[in-house]
Amino acid sequence: MAEQQNTFSDVTQGTTQLLHEASEKTAQTVLAHTSKYNDAYSTIDKIMDGFWERIPYICIALVVFTIFWLLSKVFKFFVRKTLSDRTYTRQNLVLVLNRVGASAIIFFGFLIAMVIAIPGFTPGQLMSALGIGSVAIGFAFKDIFQNLLSGVLILLSEPFKIGDDIIVSGMEGTVEDIQIRATYLRSPDGRRIVIPNATVYTSAVTVNTAYKRRRCEFIVGIGYEDDVQKAKEIVLDILDRDSSILSQPGFSVNVAALADFSVNLKVQWWVDTGETATSNSISSVQEKVIHAFAENEVSIPYPVQEVKVYRGDPSVQDEESARAKNLN
């Protein structure tokens, strides 16, 4: 009986000790988590305190950035006013100032706002951060940067301006806008053509409206039986009577080629595109040439193809058919 009591007391003491150790471990765990939560709460409190302390600076930064944004709008307004003056020849340079200058003003205002809003921030830190990723960004946006640089070079070098009629890579149209990324054309049939500036800058560009004087030409054929000198005099008389055709540089009519069916005459003259469009002038002269040739009996030949069918000699056909019967 005494041994059972001793065993029971030992079990009781062991259980009590285990419960005591478990309670100590639980208390330690609770204290550890409580300290972590206290640290987190204190950190959050510090952040919130710092945020509330920075609110006046953030408001000032927003006001400063808004002022610079308004300055960029005012800058664009004055640039547009200058661009609307048609007597100003360097319109593309005005576009560069409009787009690049306004962006520079906003970026400068952003840097000042960041210095005011964020303690310890300097523009050098932003430049360093941009420099770290510049290589990766350069590879990722190579085409975009190429178009941007080409756009700036086009605007600065001014090979053409808004309103010019140009031909780029076989595409023709009137320049509607020259942006940093692309050039916008309006085709003769009313469609919009968007060409990347890199393509425009590296391709051959034909500016049809670079000069007011434009040469017009077309080729007309006359028959070999017609008098070439007479045909030339008829065309020269038509050109001389047309008031829209310039006397200087002079117009001309020359034999261009001896073709299969006709003697081809090349007719050339000059017009002032400010008064007459080249297409209208060419159409008008061609109509007058057709009527004048018809009145003076000068032919305008066209290709003629003769088809001859050979049916053979009837006597030969009879001999061949008789020979075939004898063989049968």
pLDDT at residue 121 tops 70: no
Looking up residue 175, the CATH number of its domain turns out to be 2.30.30.60
Convert the pLDDT of each residue in 40-92 to its tens digit.
566 666 666 666 776 777 788 888 888 888 888 888 787 777 666 555 455 66
Residue 300 covered by a domain: no
Q: Are residues 60 and 181 in the same domain?
A: no
Residue 323 covered by a domain: no
Q: Are residues 127 and 203 in the same domain?
A: no
Strands (E), the chain: 165-168, 171-178, 182-186, 192-196, 205-207, 213-222, 252-258, 263-272
Residue 324 covered by a domain: no
Q: Are residues 88 and 163 in the same domain?
A: no
Give CA separation, 163 vs 27, 87, 152, 275, 317, in Å.
83, 14, 18, 16, 75
Where does the pLDDT of residue 124 fall: very low under 50, low under 70, confident under 90, or very high at 90 and above? low
Residue 196 belongs to domain spanning? 157-207
194 bridge partner residues: 184
Sign of CA dihedral 251, 257, 261, 263: positive
φ/ψ (deg, to 5) at 18: -65, -40
Counting the structural domains of the chain, the total is 3
Looking up residue 281, the CATH number of its domain turns out to be 3.30.70.100
CA distance 173 to 205: 12
Q: Are residues 120 and 165 in the same domain?
A: no
Confidence (pLDDT) at 265: 95
Residue 321 covered by a domain: no
Residue 151 covered by a domain: no
Q: Are residues 14 and 112 in the same domain?
A: yes
Q: Are residues 10 and 64 in the same domain?
A: yes
Convert the pLDDT of each residue in 131-179 to its tens digit.
555 555 556 567 777 888 888 788 778 888 888 899 998 899 999 988 8
Residue 143 covered by a domain: no
Convert the pLDDT of each residue in 172-226 to its tens digit.
999 998 887 889 999 988 899 999 999 998 999 999 888 888 899 999 999 999 9
Residue 316 covered by a domain: no
Residue 109 covered by a domain: yes
Q: Are residues 203 and 218 in the same domain?
A: no
CA distance 71 to 313: 99
Convert the pLDDT of each residue in 146-157 to its tens digit.
888 888 788 778
Q: Are residues 121 and 221 in the same domain?
A: no
Convert the pLDDT of each residue in 227-281 to its tens digit.
999 999 999 999 999 988 998 888 999 999 998 889 999 999 999 988 888 889 9
Q: Are residues 171 and 195 in the same domain?
A: yes
Sign of CA dihedral 146, 148, 150, 152: negative
